[in-house]
Amino acid sequence: MDLKLEGKVALVTGSSKGIGEGVAKGLAREGAIVIIHGRNKAKTEDVAHDIVAQGGHAYAVVGDLTHDDEVQRLVADAQAFVRPVDILVNNAGGSGETEDWATTRLETWAAGYDRNVLAAVRVTARLLPGMRAAKWGRVVNISSLAGLMPSSKRPDYAAAKAAMIAMTASLAKAVAADGITANTVSPGTIHSVSLDEAFRKVALNHGIAVDAPWTEIEQTVLPMFAQVPVGRVGTLEEIADAIAFLVSPRASYITGTNLRLDGGMWPGC
């Protein structure tokens, strides 16, 4: 299926590693011009260079999304590379220290909300006028299964990710008449570099070699982390493919949704 993304300009925040990197590379494979964002200049440029080396089109912008002036600068840079941004994937964010209700601090909640929700708002607000003028645009906010199935730990993170789901539903209604869609994607357990390292450390403690095949690591360790009905973790390619469809012209009637990529964990697991 041709997703008709050739030449579309996509800004993926937090794409110097992990899920964001996977999404950016997936969009580039579909022909989109991708703008890589991160806080570390070298890592951000490395991802952009890798995409170009594979025959894609990519640029790099650097900045901390918790600072208004840096967001203003990096958005201006992104808009100046080729033409205005058509697609925004708000992936930057993440959790902080592991806290529970006995140890949680107000500053942790504030920082988590700023890093996830307000960071997405800062970038989105600056790009919406251009999308409205063009009568076309796509916004995808990356939430988390934690926003739907919160545990007793990291309540600040779960609350911030739940806020992103509500925020997206509101945005979708506000911009639908302008030809813009807004959707949320909530990943479950995904095979990133950091997850691979974490699983291998646990496996080592259970007598499995740290360099054992991933399938052996996965089968042993995954049940300790989550009960996933399909019996495996998700891949970066699966997230990238789902988002590529959501931001494509072919998904113009899908807006205000929360797509769960969790291997069947919701509900009942």
For the annotated catalytic residues, the residue numbers are 157
For 225-228, the CB contacts below 8 A with 24+ separation are 225/189, 225/199, 226/188, 226/189, 226/265, 226/269, 227/265, 227/269, 228/188, 228/189, 228/262, 228/263, 228/264, 228/265, 228/269
Per the CB < 8 A criterion, the answer to whether 143 and 184 are in contact is yes
> Which residues sit opposite 141 in a β-bridge?
90, 184
Pairing relation of β-strands 57-62 and 87-90?
Answer: unpaired
d(CA 245, CA 185): 12
